[in-house]
């Protein structure tokens, strides 16, 4: 590490280089984890049911759900292994166990639910939730026993009401909340008993004392308020582990903020050394990855062709029967990421307006740096007043590879939520969802309106509303494109398609939320999550489950897709058809119908000579700005009908570049039929030839300040351009400029194309090489060749 940089780092947490190294305990745990990542995992509990007892089948659905939750936590395999400091994984005989969910829906309910599904909805009966985060601080401050007191108070209050179906439903919900809270406490007590048994057998006095300490910690938390930093971390992990084990994939929130008060208290009293705090967080980091898998042979393989067949057979290639919730089939890339929805945020503006950077922020960044792991997905919240030391540290960690941490701009995202009506204090406490999309931490029910495919709308505008993929009439029958005499007529046709789809999607979601039918969410009337509801602000007070309007905020992101491809395609039409007149509309449409076969010269001309997005060229960027203005403004217009719902806009693809592309035939940007689209709000692969600064300037013209849900631009730099102190300074300066210029979200990955090519040929030598995929990080060797080739195509940027 360069001395010049070290001198600029915080004295308490980073100047001591021991914090950046792995302790002997952590080294052993890390080696064990890496070994297990190559082993095939086992399933447990997939055949369990809570319906064996006839009396259970007579209980309200929500209580049966709670009993299934309890059954898992009381019966799943548990272990405390040598060196474990943070307790809670699912291991049996040294093999990682994937826990199944017991059945709790009757056959009649199952049949009724499946018959209610429409269009592309897939059954989510007896599944968990995602895109949420609990208010962890409540558990740390009052313990689950304190939460249970609040629940019991409500039960007593409601029980005094006149008998009614509504009263009985509310009582059942709160009884389910209570049961699930008690189940987590019971799980912790299983570890108390185990730790005590192991301590008796322990031959090493030091380990015996550790096991007795573990028993003491687990006896206290999460039942009671945490009193130490170790207890706070363990309490947090027990809650998160309970959600993971029962199928709810939630994000982690602002971990360095809700855990920091416990560390700060002990630091002030001199009761804990930073080295010990670092070891606790390192152990937590390894827990996040305990189910990681890096062997491709253990993943089901979905090639692009297999995905295409799925899309066509499911009708997803354009079927909008279920607008706003278009389901795309999972690909190998989704599985290969080992993505479990574990997104956490560091630093950022606090509810009182101050900066939240603290010792724990840097401790967490140390953990990101020292492990070649993909979990958790780490986001650093920056703003114009962020400490320069933090920017330097972010740059240093980014240089280690893997595309982490992700960067959010608080100045833009907070104001975006304020503009949508969220009070400033709550807006400042936003978190990320499972990938990068935003929500209000511990206070919101957040979901996505998917499938707002800009490129598909262009195809519909050029084909009178008919999909080229499946031949279905899925859009408006707009004007015959052969009759267009000016580019604005094409733009108007695109806008008509966009507005039609936005109205359908927002109305579909809005009616479902307002009428509380829940079919809009894909979960249906049988979905509940009592523990998550108990830990989400206002659900207890509102006497409702989280997804039934209990949370303070209901947030549905309006997710636009394939913007860069659409800009490039419309730029080509404007330039070649309407201005230069070097090709007729009929010739272009014929080429698209033929998927460019016989028109390769025309395709190459478009790819090489026409202005492209992400090159700071106003010719292309002005088209993009008009598309974005319309998307945002019409989304807001249609959202006005549903004032109890927040509809923030976003541009994003996650890892679905192939699936999104498979919905669209050949397009005027030179793209072949059903091929991948550009990621998020990033350039089309190979087109950003003017460098990263130009790419950022184009990006900033796309109304990103109005995209409160998020709009990442993904950039890649060559490792060679970032070497040494000079490289760190370049990277720090680039990040600082992005924030000051008003960027929204940014991912930076340092790559070496030759290394990626070598890894394709010799994967065994590169098992732990990581790359950024959509909203998370994946091990390179687990991706299919299609995804690997796409990554290699991406431009390697240098910084002057």
pLDDT tens profile 607-638? 999 999 999 999 999 999 999 999 999 999 99
Distance (Å, whole) CA 301 – CA 295: 12
Distance (Å, whole) CA 139 – CA 535: 8
Q: What is the pLDDT of residue 800?
A: 34
Taking Cα atoms as reference points, which of 97, 85, 3 lies closest to residue 45? 97
Taking Cα atoms as reference points, which of 679, 661, 651 lies closest to residue 776? 679
Q: What percent of the chain has pLDDT over 70?
A: 90
Q: What is the pLDDT of residue 5?
A: 40
Q: What is the pLDDT of residue 130?
A: 78
Q: Which residues, at least 6 apart from 712, have a Cβ–Cβ distance to it below 8 Å?
A: 406, 436, 652, 680, 681, 682, 744, 745, 746, 747, 775
Higher per-residue confidence, 83 vs 130: 83
Q: What is the pLDDT of residue 664?
A: 98
Q: Which of 21-30, 392-401, 549-558, 767-776 has the lowest mean pLDDT?
A: 767-776
Q: What is the pLDDT of residue 322?
A: 43
The values of phi and psi at residue 761, to 5°, are: -85, -35
pLDDT at 150 over 50: yes
DSSP letters, 197-226, are: HHHHH--SHHHHHHHHHHHHHHHHTTTS--
Look-up: residue for tokens 């351009």? 721
Determine if the pTM surpasses 0.75. Answer: yes
pLDDT band at 273 (very low <50, low <70, confident <90, very high): confident
Environment class of residue 207 by beta-carbon count within 10 Å: exposed (0-12), middle (13-18) or buried (19+)?
middle
pLDDT band at 315 (very low <50, low <70, confident <90, very high): very low
pLDDT band at 784 (very low <50, low <70, confident <90, very high): confident
Q: What is the pLDDT of residue 524?
A: 62
Q: What is the pLDDT of residue 298?
A: 74
pLDDT at 318 over 60: no
pLDDT band at 12 (very low <50, low <70, confident <90, very high): very low
Higher per-residue confidence, 440 vs 317: 440
Higher per-residue confidence, 744 vs 327: 744
Q: What percent of the chain has pLDDT over 90?
A: 71
Backbone Cα Rg of the chain: 26
pLDDT at 129 over 90: no
pLDDT at 336 over 70: no
Q: What is the pLDDT of residue 768?
A: 84
pLDDT tens profile 210-222? 999 999 999 999 9
Q: What is the pLDDT of residue 33?
A: 94
pLDDT tens profile 173-228? 999 999 999 999 999 999 999 999 999 999 999 999 999 999 999 999 999 999 99
Q: What is the mean pLDDT of the chain?
A: 90
Q: What is the pLDDT of residue 136?
A: 98
Higher per-residue confidence, 402 vs 1: 402
Q: What is the pLDDT of residue 716?
A: 87
Q: What is the pLDDT of residue 654?
A: 83
pLDDT at 307 over 70: no
Residue 647 contacts residue 558 (beta carbons within 8 Å): yes
Q: Which of 260-269, 663-672, 783-792 has the lowest mean pLDDT?
A: 783-792
Q: What is the pLDDT of residue 320?
A: 42
Higher per-residue confidence, 720 vs 341: 720
pLDDT band at 798 (very low <50, low <70, confident <90, very high): very low
pLDDT band at 253 (very low <50, low <70, confident <90, very high): very high
pLDDT tens profile 373-406? 989 999 999 999 999 999 999 999 999 988 899 9
Higher per-residue confidence, 781 vs 447: 447
What average pLDDT does range 137-149 have in this prediction?
Answer: 99
pLDDT band at 452 (very low <50, low <70, confident <90, very high): very high
Length of the chain: 800
Q: What is the pLDDT of residue 766?
A: 84
Distance (Å, whole) CA 647 – CA 652: 15
Taking Cα atoms as reference points, which of 347, 306, 345, 349 lies closest to residue 329? 306
């Amino acid at each position: 590490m360069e001395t010049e940089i070290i001198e600029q780092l915080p004295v308490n947490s980073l100047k001591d280089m021991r914090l950046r190294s792995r302790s002997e305990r952590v080294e052993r745990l890390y080696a064990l984890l890496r070994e297990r990542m190559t082993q095939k995992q086992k399933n447990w509990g997939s055949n369990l049911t809570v319906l064996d007892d006839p009396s259970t089948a007579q209980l309200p659905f929500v209580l049966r759900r709670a009993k299934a939750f309890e059954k898992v936590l009381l019966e799943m395999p548990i272990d405390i292994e040598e060196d474990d400091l943070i307790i809670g994984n699912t291991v049996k005989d040294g093999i990682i166990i994937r826990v199944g969910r017991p059945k709790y829906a009757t056959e009649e309910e199952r049949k009724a639910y499946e018959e209610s599904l429409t269009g592309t909805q897939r059954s989510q009966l007896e599944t968990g939730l995602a895109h949420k985060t609990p208010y962890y601080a409540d558990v740390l401050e009052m313990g689950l026993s304190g939460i249970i007191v609040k629940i019991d108070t409500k039960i007593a209050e409601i029980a005094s009401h006149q008998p009614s179906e509504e009263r009985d439903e509310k009582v059942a919900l709160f009884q389910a909340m209570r049961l699930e809270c008690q189940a987590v406490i019971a799980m912790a007590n299983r570890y108390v008993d185990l730790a005590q048994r192991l301590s008796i057998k322990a031959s090493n006095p030091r380990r015996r004392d550790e096991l007795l300490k573990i028993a003491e910690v687990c006896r206290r938390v999460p039942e009671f308020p945490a009193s130490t930093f170790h207890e706070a971390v363990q309490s947090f992990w027990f809650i998160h582990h309970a959600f993971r084990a029962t199928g709810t994939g939630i994000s982690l929130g602002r971990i360095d903020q809700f855990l920091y008060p416990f560390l700060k208290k002990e630091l002030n009293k001199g009761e804990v050394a930073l080295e010990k705090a670092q070891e606790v967080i390192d152990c937590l980091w390894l827990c996040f990855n305990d189910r990681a898998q890096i062997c491709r042979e253990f993943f089901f393989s979905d090639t692009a062709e297999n995905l295409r067949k799925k899309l066509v057979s499911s009708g997803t290639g354009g079927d909008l029967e279920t607008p706003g919730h278009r389901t795309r089939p999972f690909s190998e890339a989704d599985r290969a990421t080992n993505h479990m929805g574990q997104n956490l945020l560091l630093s950022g503006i606090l509810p009182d307006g101050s900066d939240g950077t603290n010792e724990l922020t840097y401790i967490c960044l140390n953990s990101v740096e020292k492990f070649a792991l993909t979990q958790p997905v780490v986001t650093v919240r920056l703003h114009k007043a962020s400490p320069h030391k933090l920017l330097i540290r972010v740059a240093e960690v980014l240089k280690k590879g893997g595309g982490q941490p992700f960067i959010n701009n608080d100045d833009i995202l907070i104001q975006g939520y304020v503009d949508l009506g969220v009070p400033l204090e709550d807006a400042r406490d936003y978190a990320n969802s499972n990938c990068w999309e935003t929500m209000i931490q511990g206070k919101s029910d957040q979901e996505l309106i998917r499938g707002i495919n800009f490129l598909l709308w262009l195809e519909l505008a050029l084909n009178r509303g008919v999909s080229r993929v499946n031949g279905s009439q899925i859009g408006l029958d707009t004007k015959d494109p052969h009759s267009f005499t000016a580019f604005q007529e094409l733009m108007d046709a695109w806008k008509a398609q966009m507005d039609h789809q936005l109205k359908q999607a927002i109305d579909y979601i809005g009616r479902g939320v307002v009428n509380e039918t829940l079919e809009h969410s894909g979960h249906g009337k049988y979905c509940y999550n009592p523990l998550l509801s108990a830990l989400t602000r206002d659900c207890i007070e509102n006497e409702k489950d989280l997804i039934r309007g209990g949370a303070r905020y209901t947030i549905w992101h309006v997710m636009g897709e394939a913007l860069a491809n659409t800009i490039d395609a419309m730029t080509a039409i404007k330039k070649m058809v309407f201005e230069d007149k070097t090709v007729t509309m009929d010739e272009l449409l014929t080429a698209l119908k033929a998927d460019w076969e016989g028109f390769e010269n025309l395709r190459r001309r478009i790819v090489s000579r026409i202005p492209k997005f992400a090159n700071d060229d106003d010719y292309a960027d002005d088209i993009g700005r008009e598309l974005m203005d319309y998307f945002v403004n019409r989304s807001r217009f249609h959202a006005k009908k549903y004032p109890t719902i927040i509809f923030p806009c976003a541009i994003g693809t996650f890892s679905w570049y192939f699936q999104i592309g498979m919905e669209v035939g050949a397009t005027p940007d030179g793209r072949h039929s059903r091929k991948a689209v550009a990621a998020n709000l990033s350039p089309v692969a190979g087109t950003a030839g003017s460098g990263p600064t130009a790419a950022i300037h184009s990006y900033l013209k796309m109304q990103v300040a109005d995209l409160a849900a998020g709009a990442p631009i993904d950039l890649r730099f060559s490792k060679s351009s970032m070497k040494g102190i000079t490289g760190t300074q370049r990277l720090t300066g680039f990040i600082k400029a992005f924030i000051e210029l008003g960027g929204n979200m940014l991912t930076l990955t340092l790559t070496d194309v030759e290394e990626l090519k070598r890894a394709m040929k010799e994967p065994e030598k590169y098992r732990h090489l990581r790359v950024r995929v959509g909203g998370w990080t994946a091990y390179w060797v687990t991706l299919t060749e299609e995804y690997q080739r796409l990554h290699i195509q991406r431009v390697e940027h240098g910084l002057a």
